[in-house]
């Protein structure tokens, strides 16, 4: 079987690594890929947003299955284009991807179908948005309606911060066209978790729960990022809560999309806020999470190709997933200045030393090759991921590997996974 993975980040490296372990795959391509994915397959110089180029490549090479990593090609209709040509592809259609592409659509869907979420208001006029928040008490959460690479959410503790967030998104266009409309939500207190499931439109198959760390600094301080680390399993999501989430969030969402004439197939990602055993949905995403995918793939014991192909072919009801009972922790190493401006082209040292460690995978995200050397090319550069017999062991092994890697301006949080240690607040 020939498989094509679309994307170039840490999530795609983890997916490519896992697929490369399948005995059924004879050729693995990644478009455009990165220096890390090139260790497991053949990188192809086609941008993830080049829907026509990807389609023609898949036709020419007779690709048996294409797996879409990032959200942008999904919202551009890559699944629709492939399916029109009779090509098998894993990921929701353009119509279904609106669940992530528009926070307004997502919130309206949740309210309409009784999926638990925070109270909100939508605005396309900054003056009206400010008038609304003036009549309520902070804190607020201000969100750009469209895609903003995981950074379009601003938590505001005061009225002044809220006004600045509204101006930043709507007036100064910090997130471009994504900020033409905003959602102003009530601030939910609790602990965040990520719950992902795979669905063929009928069966909803949960993946191992994971917990992300969104803020740039330790103790969840500072602005939100695309994710600074993750771990799995997430003790916050108990087996009882998992069943509850399937019945009250995931299945209702899939049925709701069907009822709206937008059948949903692929990964359904629910970002949750959990407080006192009750969960509310912060957002839906229509693809694998990043960096949650890295620890999830490390713990998955099944052949990922089987799971994805069964989804595409509508026979997911015959799949049962097996998970390692070990823990996995991913620590993101980022460029100094991220999530704002940062420099590129910094030579990375120690990758070989880290790779020698047992139960460690260094997933590349923002890297490139320059004169035969791996250099930084993005904000989130590496996802250093390790397995351990318990959460402490996984944390220690991940940071041991992080300690062997360096470049000028390397930055990482030092508390990834700490909240999962028993007795830690």
Characterize the bridge pairing of strands 266-275 and 278-285: antiparallel
pLDDT in tens, 215-235: 999 999 998 899 999 999 999
pLDDT(277) > 90: no
pLDDT in tens, 163-215: 999 999 999 999 999 999 999 999 999 988 999 999 999 999 999 999 999 99
**Whole-number average pLDDT of the chain:** 96
The fold of 2-93 is Rossmann fold (3.40.50)
Q: Which CATH class is domain 125-180?
A: alpha beta
- The answer to whether the CB of 118 falls within 8 A of the CB of 190 is no
- The answer to whether the CB of 335 falls within 8 A of the CB of 379 is yes
Please compute the mean of the pLDDT values over residues 256-273 and round it to a whole number. 97
Superfamily of domain 191-318: ATP-grasp fold, B domain (3.30.470.20)
- The answer to whether the CB of 6 falls within 8 A of the CB of 69 is yes
Tell me the C-alpha distance between 209 and 247, whole Å. Answer: 16
pLDDT band at 425 (very low <50, low <70, confident <90, very high): low
Ramachandran category for residue 371: left, alpha or beta (phi over 0 → left; psi -120 to 50 → alpha): left
pLDDT value of residue 119: 94
pLDDT(339) > 90: yes
The fold of 327-420 is 3.90.600
CA-to-CA dists, residue 300 to 12, 212, 322, angstroms: 15, 18, 6
- The answer to whether the CB of 282 falls within 8 A of the CB of 274 is no
Length of the chain: 425
pLDDT value of residue 192: 87
pLDDT value of residue 257: 98
Q: Which residues of 26-45 are buried (b: 16+ CB within 10 A; e: fewer)?
A: eebbbbbbbbbbeebbebbe
Domain boundaries along the sequence of the chain: 2-93, 125-180, 191-318, 327-420
pLDDT value of residue 276: 85
Q: Which structure tokens are listed for 30? A: 């990644």
pLDDT value of residue 149: 75
- The answer to whether the CB of 256 falls within 8 A of the CB of 109 is yes
pLDDT in tens, 35-77: 999 999 999 999 999 999 999 999 999 999 999 999 999 999 9
């Amino acid at each position: 079987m020939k498989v094509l993975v679309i994307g170039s980040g840490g999530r795609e490296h983890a997916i490519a690594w896992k697929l490369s372990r399948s005995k059924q795959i004879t050729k693995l391509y990644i478009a455009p890929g990165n220096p890390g994915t090139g260790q497991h397959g053949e990188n192809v110089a086609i941008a993830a947003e080049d829907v026509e180029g990807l389609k023609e490549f898949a036709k020419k090479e007779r690709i048996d299955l294409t797996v879409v990593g990032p959200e942008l090609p999904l919202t551009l209709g890559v699944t629709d284009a492939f399916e029109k040509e009779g090509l098998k592809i894993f990921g929701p259609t353009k119509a279904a991807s609106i669940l992530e592409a528009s926070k307004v659509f997502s919130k309206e869907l949740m309210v309409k179908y009784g999926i638990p979420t925070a109270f909100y208001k939508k605005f396309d006029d900054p003056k009206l948005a400010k008038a609304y928040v003036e009549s309520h008490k902070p804190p607020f959460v201000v969100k750009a309606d469209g895609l903003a690479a995981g950074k379009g959410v601003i938590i505001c503790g005061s009225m002044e911060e809220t006004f600045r967030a509204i101006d930043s998104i709507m007036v100064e266009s910090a997130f471009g066209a994504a900020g033409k409309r905003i959602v102003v939500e009530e601030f939910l207190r609790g602990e965040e978790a990520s719950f992902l499931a795979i669905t063929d439109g009928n069966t909803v198959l949960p993946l191992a729960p994971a917990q992300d760390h969104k803020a740039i600094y330790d103790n969840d301080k500072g602005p939100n990022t695309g994710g600074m680390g993750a771990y799995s399993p997430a003790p916050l999501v108990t087996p009882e809560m998992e069943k509850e989430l399937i019945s009250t969030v995931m299945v209702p969402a899939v049925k709701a999309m069907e009822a709206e004439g937008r059948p949903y197939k692929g990964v359904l990602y629910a970002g949750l806020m959990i407080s006192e055993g009750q969960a509310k949905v912060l957002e839906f995403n229509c693809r694998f999470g990043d960096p949650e995918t890295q620890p999830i793939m490390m713990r998955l014991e099944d052949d990922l190709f089987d799971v994805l192909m069964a989804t595409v072919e509508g026979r997911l009801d015959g799949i049962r997933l097996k998970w390692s009972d070990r823990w996995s922790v991913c620590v993101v190493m980022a460029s100094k200045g991220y999530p704002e401006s940062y420099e590129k082209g910094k030579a990375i040292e120690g990758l070989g030393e880290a790779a020698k460690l047992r139960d460690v995978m260094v997933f590349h995200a923002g890297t490139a090759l320059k004169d035969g050397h791996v250099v930084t090319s993005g904000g989130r550069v590496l996802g250093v991921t390790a397995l351990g017999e318990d959460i402490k062991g996984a944390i220690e092994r991940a940071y041991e590997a992080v300690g062997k890697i360096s470049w000028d301006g390397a930055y990482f949080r030092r508390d990834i996974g700490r909240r999962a240690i028993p007795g830690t607040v």
